[in-house]
Amino acid sequence: MRTQVVIIGGGPSGLLLSQLLYLNGIENVVLEKHTKKYVLSRIRAGVLEQGTVNLLNKAGLGKRIKNEGFNHDGIFLSVKNHSFRIDFKSLVNKTVTVFGQTEVTADLYSVVEKDKGRIINSAKNVMPCDILTNKPYVTYEINGLDKKITCDFIIGCDGFHGITRQIIPKNKIKTFERIYPFGWLGILSETCPVNDELIYANHKTGFALASMRNKNLSRYYIQTSINDKVEMWDDDRFWFELKKRLPKDASERLVTGPSIEKSLAPLRSFVVEPMKFGNLFLVGDAAHIVPPTGAKGLNLAFSDVNYLYESLIGYFKNDDKNAIEQYSSKALNRVWKTIRFSWWMTNTLHKFPDQTEFDQKIQEAELDYLKNSIDAQKSLAENYVGLAF
C-alpha cells in the first residue's frame, strides 16, 4: 500500500490530523493497535479551549459541541474552604467549553470511517522504518498477516508509551521531566454537579477538583499519595475527603452517589526535543505530558495537530519544502508555555509530601494575591482559556 502520510495512533489527535489532511486532499492512513470499542471506552478530560473548538469546526465537527457542550465563562479557586471566581469573559473575553474527550473521539471516528480503509484498528506490532530516507515505510500485522505501507511522512500520535519516540536514538533527542510525588484519584458519578463551573481547591490536606461531564454526570478528583491504590478508596472514604477539601458552601450542597468509574493517575511534566526526526513527527503525548491541573493535555495535542497540519499543507499544496522544518520549533514554543502554566497550577494548589507550614502559607498568600489582583487574574485567564495557536 502507498499513501502520503501514515499516522500511528487512532486517538483524538491522530484522527483529527487525519480528517484535516483528508479535507485538503492529502492521502493518509491511521494505524491503531486497539479496537474502536477500547479507544472509545477511555475516560478523559473534557475542557476544550477556544482554539481547540475552532480546529474541530475546521474539521467539520463543531455541530454537536455547539449543541451539547457547556460554555464556561470562568472557574472557581478555593483556599481554606472559601472560594473566589476568575471571570474569563470579563478578563480576556474568551470562554472554555466542557465536552467530553470521549465524545470528541467518537465524532472523529464517525467522519474518518466514512472514508473506507483510512483507519485500521487492531494493527499489531506497528514499526516505522527508514525514517531518515526519502522513502519511509511502516510495517504492521493484522489478522495474522504482515502488511507494509510506504509513505512520505510518518506521524507519531501513539502516546507516551508508543513506539514512535522509542525508535529515535537517545543521543538525537533530549528529554526534560518532572515527576510529581502524588496522584489524582478520580471518580465519575451519576449525580448533578456541585457547581456550574469547575472548582479548584487548595486545602492543607491536599488538592481537590470538582468538574462535570453533563447535567447528570459529575467528575471529581482528590490528590492522593503516589503509593495509593484504587482499592484503598471506597466511595464513602472518597466523598468524606472531597467534602473536607471543597469550599464550605459547595461541600454543603454536594450530592453523592455510587461511582461508575474510578481511577488513579500519576502526575508528570515531560517534554522531548525536537519533535521531528528525519521524516518522523511526534504529536501530543508522544512528545510531551502535562499534569491534568489546568486541563491542557488534549488542547496541547490539538495545537500540535494545528502546526503539523499547516506544515504538511505547505509542503504538499504550496510546494514549500521548508514548511515541515518549522513544525518542531513552532510547537515547542507553545508547549513550554503550557508546561509552565500547568506546573504553576500544580505547585500552587497541591500539598507536597515535604511541605511545611511556611510552604502552605506561601500558597495561601499566592491565592490571596490572585483573588485581589486583576492583573494576576488576567494572566491566569489568558493561559487557562488557551494561548493562541
Closest CA to 288 of 276, 300, 299, 302: 300
The reply to whether 384 belongs to the active site is: yes
The reply to whether 292 belongs to the active site is: yes
Catalytic residue among 200, 221, 307, 309: 200
The reply to whether 147 belongs to the active site is: no
Catalytic residue among 137, 307, 309, 384: 384
Output 283-286 pairs: Cβ under 8 A, ≥24 positions apart: 283/13, 283/14, 283/17, 283/155, 283/156, 283/157, 283/308, 284/11, 284/13, 284/157, 284/159, 285/159, 285/160, 285/162, 286/9, 286/156, 286/157, 286/158, 286/159, 286/160, 286/162, 286/164, 286/165
Catalytic residue among 72, 276, 288, 350: 72
Contact call for residues 59 and 83 (beta carbons, < 8 A): no
The reply to whether 309 belongs to the active site is: no
The reply to whether 136 belongs to the active site is: no
Q: What is the 3-state secondary structure (H, E, C) of 237-280?
A: HHHHHHHHHCCHHHHHHCCCCCEEEEEEEEEEEEEEECCEECCE
Name the 3-class secondary structure at 165: helix
DSSP assignment of 320-380 equals -TTGGGGHHHHHHHHHHHHHHHHHHHHHHHPPPTT--HHHHHHHHHHHHHHHH-HHHHHHH
Tell me if the bond preceding 274 is cis, omega within 30° of 0: yes
Closest CA to 71 of 92, 46, 41, 91: 46
Name the 3-class secondary structure at 91: helix
Torsion angle of the four alpha carbons 132, 134, 135, 138, in this order, in degrees rounded to the nearest 10: 40
Catalytic residue among 292, 309, 315, 327: 292
Catalytic residue among 296, 330, 350, 351: 296
Catalytic residue IDs: 72, 200, 292, 296, 384
